[in-house]
Structures are given as structure tokens and as C-alpha cells.
Amino acid sequence: MSSYVYLMNNLEKLKLQKVKEHIDSYIELVARGEKTIVEALNELLRLEIEYQEEKAISACVKVANFPFFKSLEEFDFNFQPTINKAVIRDLMTLRFLDKKENILFLGNPGVGKTHLAVSIGIEASKKRNSTYFITCHDLLSNLKKAQLENRLEVRLKHYAKYKLLIIDEIGYLPIMEDESNIFFQLINKRYEKNSTIITTNKEFSKWSEIFGDVVIANAILDRLLHHSTVIKITGRSYRLKDKIDERNEKK
């Protein structure tokens, strides 16, 4: 085996894909005296490191289970003037994660709660914070199934561990009494340890209706709100934006 083939095989074995891709041109640059061997190695390794970091980031984003990929740049703040842009920008710095604070988005359908939660979530996972997105309904189904299989504690620990857990759509579907209990346990486990983002269409004063119990609803809210930012959005549904415009045009 020639020493070149041996080198290529070893790069393959070490999974240094970018080094392998670019090594030919660097061999030539070194041969022509345009780069020193140290410069060539440094540049090749930098290409490899950048590539591997990008791959790790996209793996983080992939496992987070986002329903769609939308960034803050795609959010039209002019359409939703009740949202304080500076507050959202501050949340995007992820300071809230270090402080173990929560974010609660409150508003009617289509005002952008999930969009904003996802944008922040993507940012968090890009910075390699373990992040997971799940609807409240799926979360509770999953935890209830675990309870039936006698592994609730393990599952609760699993969800409690995420640096950022996004629980979407609290309030759209009714929550049974045993589920309310399980939900409380999860929020209690995450309290002051990790950050949670909540989206809901129901005012906090109505949460006792969702959870079917004033005491449990208050206990959950107490923990969620203690260290938190509440973003209340009162505006039109973006989903109906064009429909409403069309209606006005017809008038």
C-alpha cells in the first residue's frame, strides 16, 4: 500500500471527513512552498472542527422535536405590537437558562406563541443546551403510559433533566385529575433546576378549569411563575391575517 493510500485509509478510520476532502489541495500547496506543514495542518483541522461542530448542532436541533423551524427573523413584530421586542431579544440571549427562569406565552390562537417558543428553543439547542419540545397532551399521554408500566419516576426524571423543556398548548384539551397530579410532579421536579417554556391560550385565573382543581392549579402556577417572564399577546391571529384583510377589502 502506498503511503498516500495508507494516509487516506487512516483519515477514513478516524472519520476526519473534511481533512480527507481537502488534503490533496493542501499537499500541493505545501509542495509548492505556499504553505508550511504547520499552516496546512492547522487549516485542515479547523475545517474539520467547524464541520463536526455544525454536525453536533444539527443533531441537537433534530432531537429537540420541534414542530417546525422558524427563526425570530421570520417573526413580524409589526403585526403583533403588544409584544415587546426588547424582551424577546433578551430571551434570545438565553440568560434565562442560566438563571433557571421560565417563559410563559399567553394568548389566543395564531398570535405566534409556538413560533416564538420554537425560535428560542432552536437558539438554545444550537448552543448545545438539551432541549425538547412537546405538546402538553403528548407529554401527559406519555407520562400516563409510563405510570401504567410502573416507570413513572424514570420518565419524570427524563423530562425533568432537559435544560429547556417546551410544553406547548396547555389549555386546549382537558386534563384528567391523575394527569394534573403527574404534571405537578414534573413542574415540581424542574422548579429552580431547569427552565420551562409554556404556551397557553388560557388566562392563569382559568387554569383551575384546565386542571380541574384550584389547589393543584395554584401549586403549578406558583412554581412556574416564581422566576419567570410572562409574554401576554393580545392581537389578531396571523393565520387569519389574509382572511381578515380580504374581508375588509370586500366591504
Ligand X SMILES: Nc1ncnc2c1ncn2[C@@H]1O[C@H](COP(=O)(O)OP(=O)(O)OP(=O)(O)O)[C@@H](O)[C@H]1O
C-alpha span between 98 and 182 (Å, rounded)? 26
**Stretch touching ligand X by CB under 6 A, among 20-28, 75-83, 181-189, 210-218:** 75-83
Q: Is 106 in the site for ligand X (CB under 6 A)?
A: no
Q: Which stretch binds Mg ion (CB under 5 A): 68-76, 96-104, 114-122, 155-163?
A: 114-122
SS3 call for 195: strand
Grid cell for residue 64: 429537540
135 binds ligand X (CB under 6 A): no
Q: Between residues 115 and 190, which has the closer beta carbon with respect to ligand X?
A: 115
Rounded distance, CA 168 to CA 97, Å?
18
Residue 243 carries which side chain, given as an amino acid letter?
K
Of 180, 223, 178, 232, nearest in space to 202 by CA: 232
Q: Which of residues 187-206 bind ligand X (CB under 6 A)?
A: 199, 201
φ and ψ of 176, to 5 deg: -75, 165
Cβ neighbour number for residue 12 with a 10 Å cutoff: 11
- One-letter amino acid for residue 160 of the chain: A
The answer to whether residue 109 forms part of the interface with ligand X (CB under 6 A) is: yes
Q: What does the angle CA 149 – CA 152 – CA 158 come to, to the nearest 5 degrees?
A: 125
The smaller minimum CB distance to ligand X, of residues 3 and 78, is found at: 78
Residue 140 Cβ, how far from Mg ion at the closest point, in Å? 17
238 contributes a contact to ligand X by CB under 6 A: yes
Question: Of 114, 129, 180, 195, which lies in the binding site for Mg ion, with binding defined by CB under 5 A?
Answer: 114
Interface residues with Mg ion (CB under 5 A) are 114
In the complex, the residues that contact ligand X under the rule CB under 6 A are 70, 74-76, 79-80, 107, 109-115, 169, 199, 201, 238-239
